Amino acid sequence: MRAFPFPAAASRARAALPALPALIGLALAPLLAGCGDTGGPVGAGATPTASGPVHLWPDRKGASVPPADPEGAPPVYVQGLAPVRDQNVHEVDPVALVQAELRAGPNTDAGADGMPPQTVAAIEACGQEGQPPGKCPVLTPYYRDLTDNGRDELVVGIELPDRMMSVRVYTADPDGRLNRIMATTQTVVGVELAGEDVILRVPSGDPGYELITVWSWDGKQRTMLPTREQIVRLPTTAPVASPSAPQPLKPSPEGTP
């Protein structure tokens, strides 16, 4: 048997095997094909076309809205109080403030100053001997810059019968006079301050719903106005299950503790 020299056999073996770089290229080809679009934009599919509001009954003549008074509403200044310094309403006694308004408009049972006689009597007795603690209808005041003038306004709440409440806001002008810029009396669920707004939550006419009214400062009218209203549905609460009766203990099997 004839033996081939080793160099010849090695040459034929190298010719029968593909080159190593070619093998590496074939192995990486599927990986490169799957990662070729990494980082590129991906289409989200078709999107709906945006459309503006449709004006219903365009031929109908709408109602006219009278323009606002360019001079603004006259301020309602509180009479009978000393001017405050530096427009600082923190130095104002809220009880004395409400009492001064009662003296300026006595026997008023309607409008922003309207109060029932029993509430008037309770306010006049605030701070006097014989009045039980916590019976003064004038609540603890709150302070917030509601006019964007860099100074706090005074927010006063007055409790009235039947869960009604009078909510009032006062600001001080550069002369130190107190100007009442908000006054409303309603059956109030809650009062909130958010930014420069006073938010009132009152019951709506439908069970399970509340009416939210947002009062905001109007620089032209120089007063706070109800600028937004929204009826919201209250979240329903699931009934709480009563705790089950305790189960009697079973005797332990013999031989166990």
Q: What is the pLDDT of residues 26-57, one digit of tens each?
A: 454 554 455 555 555 666 667 677 677 898 89
Q: Which residue has the tokens 């059956």?
A: 187
Cβ-based neighbour number of residue 78 at 10 Å: 17
179 lies in a domain?
A: yes
Q: What is the spatial distance between Cα 227 and Cα 218, in angstroms, rounded to a whole number?
A: 9
Whether 203 maps to a domain, the answer reads: no
pLDDT exceeds 50 at position 245: no
Q: Domain containing 120: what range?
A: 76-187
Whether pLDDT at 16 is above 70: no
Residue 146 maps to a domain:
yes
Low-confidence winner among 141-145, 167-171, 231-235, 240-244 (lowest mean pLDDT): 240-244
**Residue 131 pLDDT > 80:** no
Question: 134, 133, 138, 92: which is closest to 119 by C-alpha?
Answer: 138
In a domain, 125, yes or no: yes
**pLDDT 10s digits, 175-207:** 999 999 999 999 999 999 999 999 999 999 889
User: Could you give the number of structural domains in the chain?
Assistant: 1
Parallel/antiparallel/unpaired status of strands 164-172 and 178-187: antiparallel
Q: Helix 94-104 and helix 117-124: axis angle, to 10°?
A: 130
Burial environment of residue 223 by CB neighbours within 10 A (0 to 12, 13 to 18, 19 or more) = buried
pLDDT-derived band at 136, boundaries 50, 70, 90: very high
pLDDT mean over 89-95: 96
Beta-bridge partners for 168: 156, 183
CA 130 from centroid of its chain's CA atoms: 41
**Does some domain include residue 223?**
no
DSSP string, 204-220: -SSTTEEEEEEEEEETT
More confident residue, 148 or 248: 148
143 has a pLDDT exceeding 50: yes
pLDDT at residue 96 tops 90: yes
pTM: 0.69
Separation of alpha carbons 73 and 224, rounded Å: 11
182 located within any domain: yes
pLDDT at 4: 45
Question: How many other β-carbons are positioned within 10 Å of the β-carbon of residue 224?
Answer: 24
Q: Is residue 121 part of a domain?
A: yes
Q: Looking at the predicted structure, is the pLDDT value of residue 134 above 60? A: yes
Distance CA 197, CA 225 (A): 10
% of the chain residues with pLDDT over 70: 70
The whole-number pLDDT of residue 8 equals 45
Q: pLDDT value at position 129? A: 80
Q: What is the mean pLDDT of residues 75-84?
A: 90
pLDDT digit string (tens) for 151-177?
999 999 999 999 999 999 999 999 999
Tokens for 53?
């509001």
Distance in angstroms (rounded) separating the CA atoms of residues 213 and 158: 18
